[in-house]
Amino acid sequence: MTNNKYLIAIFLTAVLFALPLHADVKRESLHFLTTEAGLGYSALLNKSTLGTSAGLAGAKLQVGYEWRYRKLLVHTGLEFASVNDMARVDPFQMKTSYTVGLPAGQYMTEYFDFRSFKETQMMGQLNIPVQVGAVFSDRYYFLAGARIGLPVLHAASVKTDVTTWLVDPSLIGELNNVPVHDAYTSTEKLNYAWSANIVNAQVSAEVGLVLNSFFEKPQKGKGRGSSASGRNQRNKKKPVLFRVALFADYGITSVAKTSGETKTLVQVAEPRDIAMNGYFDASQTPANSLLVGAKFAVLFQLNEQKPAKPLPSYFDIWIADETTSKPLPARVNIYDKTKKRTTVKDVKNGHLRYRAKNGEYTLTASNSLYYPLSQDVAMEGEGITDTVRFGLRPRPWLRLRVTNTDTGEPLSVAAAVTNAATGDSVTTLTTQPETGLARTMLDDAKTYRLTIAHTGYETVIRDIANVGDSMLVSLTPIKVGKKVILHNLFFATNKTRILPQSEEALDELYAFLLDNPSLTIRITGHTDNVGSNRANQQLSEGRAAAVRDEIIKRGIAPERIEADGKGEDEPIADNKTEEGRAKNRRVEFTITSTGDALIEQVKE
């Protein structure tokens, strides 16, 4: 009885658990009235030494209620089950003394032979099932749980062949053809009710198919899960579902109530008094019910399902170093292409779980020490988690050190970095006075130019060959008498007109004078030896004057700039070759004064 108490407690707990769950998900719940009929094999299993259980046909009928939330099923109801069995007893013999009609003190022995002893046992009980399960693709389902049964019918019918004969110990031989002989052969049949336990606890399970999904065509364009029930629910109809299943119910408590007293199956007494005790009373062993078979169910939907809330979908975003796979803090920009809206999320540990609706997105992960990376992704469906991984590539460092050419001491200067292709400004580095060092991160996919125009020093312009390199730049102090050739300065042939492609060279000279406001210079023009000496002299003077005029137009005071020409008198290369003559055709400037005592004079 203790086991029964535990089972009843489990049953009540399951019912109480289902009620609040039902309330929480009312919006998406479906409710069904169910009718079921099942047929199969049944038995009352026991371990009696008197014989064996052969089993008989069993059946059940049920009216129930089923609740469904998405894939979850909860089922209960009221069921009548017929569980039957046939016990076959091994042949046995019994005897008693027979004294009827005999003189006092005399007796005969009467023997009873029992053959084909069969006891048919029948039990009908009312069950309350509580089962939980799931449905898959609106096509397959299973349920498992417990049943609490109350027996309402329990009876047995015994049928056996009995043969009796008498043995008289006073006779020497057998008696033959004696008409007054009182022995007989007959068939005995007896009906009686056996005692059943009040509660029968069972475990049960079933697995089956929803037939609607097989004989109704799915709607076009609905995809997976568009079964008959799903379509009708969306159309707000109340469908009728048909199911077939295989089931098994096994009693874990005994259905037979035994007294505990040892009893014989049959008792005989004079005159031929045969008493039956029943198979269960005689065996004194527990009997567990078993019912397995197939059943058919019809489910009537009671409610109209309200539109279900879509299951949330997520982007599972991971950001890590491309080389080391170490998680990185980053900023993630999530651009919704449909709504044309950007959401910004800061990630500390390299992981972000972002809830997203269906649509197309552009995800961009950035970290100041790494190149940003973008990915185009799409979210399609409900209850989906898409993993998006970013492997960020470290940005290379440009390391710069600036020193004085003459002393080797570090200099604190401003170094401009420009895009070599476009001339656009990228950044400006300021070196530390103590070390002359500075650094910055650049994009290694582009080319850059470094310009250092520092007061009192010659301007340095260098192309940056490799962004990840360390550059050492030595600045040469400006000295009186120092000559500097203006490269990339172009004139029309035999003319003083400056061509447009010379703007960069003019800008550099202007910037140099602007950064060194105390300097004065002399601009000198030179030619090759082609043509007359007089013509070359005039041409060199005219070109020098043209450069002076352009610098003055930019804002440099006229008194700071002189201009003269040397014609063909000061070549720096051989005029016999075209290459040499090209080098001799040049414009240069010379430092004439610095206005600063710290700048030393260049000795002739």
Q: How confident is the model at residue 153 (pLDDT cuts 50, 70, 90)?
A: confident
Q: Give the pLDDT mean for 536-548.
A: 95
Q: Is the pLDDT of residue 522 over 70?
A: yes
> Which of these ranges, 31-45, 188-202, 524-538, has the smallest mean pLDDT?
188-202
> Do the Cβ atoms of 563 and 541 come closer than 8 Å?
yes
Q: Is the pLDDT of residue 45 over 90?
A: no
More confident residue, 260 or 34: 34
The pair of structure tokens assigned to 204 is 């049960």
Q: Give the pLDDT mean for 478-504.
A: 91
pLDDT at position 601? 38
Q: Give the pLDDT mean for 556-566.
A: 94
Whether the link from the prior residue into 271 is cis, omega within 30° of 0, is yes
pLDDT above 70 as % of the chain? 82
More confident residue, 366 or 70: 366
Query: Which of 49-58, 97-106, 122-131, 255-264 shows the highest mean pLDDT?
Result: 122-131
Average pLDDT value for the chain: 84
Straight-line distance from the first to the last Cα atom of the chain, in angstroms, rounded to the nearest whole number: 125
More confident residue, 105 or 225: 105
Q: List the chain domain ranges.
A: 2-23+30-301, 313-392, 397-475, 483-593
User: Which top CATH class is 397-475?
Assistant: mainly beta
Q: Is the pLDDT of residue 468 over 50?
A: yes
How far apart, in Å, are the Cα atoms of 602 and each of 125, 407, 480, 569?
123, 17, 5, 22
DSSP string, 324-366: T--B--EEEEEEETTTTEEEEEEESSSEEEEEE-SEEEEEEEE
pLDDT at position 138? 86
pLDDT at position 226? 39
H or E stretch including 578? helix 578-584
How far apart, in Å, are the Cα atoms of 485 and each of 406, 460, 559, 586, 588?
21, 13, 21, 7, 4
Amino acid identity for residue 262 in this structure: T
Give the E-state strand segments of 168-278 in sequence order.
185-192, 200-210, 240-251, 266-269, 273-276
Q: How many whole angstroms separate alpha carbon 156 and alpha carbon 279? A: 9
Surface-to-core class of residue 586, CB atoms within 10 Å of its CB (0-12 exposed, 13-18 middle, 19+ buried): buried
Q: Do domains 313-392 and 397-475 have the same CATH topology?
A: yes
CATH 3.40.50.1390 fits 483-593, yes or no: no
The three-state secondary structure class of 581 is helix
Contacts of residue 588, Cβ cutoff 8 Å, sequence gap at least 6: 483, 484, 485, 486, 523, 524, 526
Query: Which of 60-64, 89-93, 162-166, 187-191 shows the highest mean pLDDT?
Result: 60-64
Length of the chain, in residues? 604
The residue among 90, 265, 134 whose CA lies nearest residue 194 is 265
pLDDT at position 581? 93
Q: How many whole angstroms separate alpha carbon 188 and alpha carbon 483? A: 143
| Tens-digit pLDDT profile for residues 86-145 | 888 888 888 887 777 777 777 778 788 888 888 888 989 999 999 999 999 889 999 999
Q: How many whole angstroms separate alpha carbon 289 and alpha carbon 598? A: 115
Q: Is the pLDDT of residue 501 over 90?
A: yes
- Choosing among 1.10.10.10, 3.30.1330.10, 1.10.3720.10, 2.60.40.1120, the CATH entry for 313-392 is 2.60.40.1120
pLDDT above 90 as % of the chain? 52
The pair of structure tokens assigned to 274 is 């045969």
| Tens-digit pLDDT profile for residues 398-451 | 899 999 999 999 999 999 999 988 889 999 999 999 999 999 988 888 889 999
Angle between helix 503-515 and 533-553 (nearest 10)? 60
The pair of structure tokens assigned to 387 is 């993993």
Q: Give the pLDDT mean for 16-31.
A: 60
Task: Supply the pTM of this predicted model.
Answer: 0.48
How far apart, in Å, are the Cα atoms of 489 and each of 59, 162, 535, 546, 562?
109, 138, 20, 11, 18
547 Ramachandran zone, left/alpha/beta (phi>0; psi -120 to 50)? alpha
Q: Give the pLDDT mean for 226-242.
A: 57
Q: Is the pLDDT of residue 584 over 60?
A: yes
The three-state secondary structure class of 230 is helix
| Tens-digit pLDDT profile for residues 337-379 | 999 999 999 999 999 999 999 999 999 999 989 999 999 999 9
pLDDT at position 88? 86
Four-residue CA torsion sign, 196, 199, 201, 206: positive
> Do the Cβ atoms of 235 and 227 come closer than 8 Å?
no
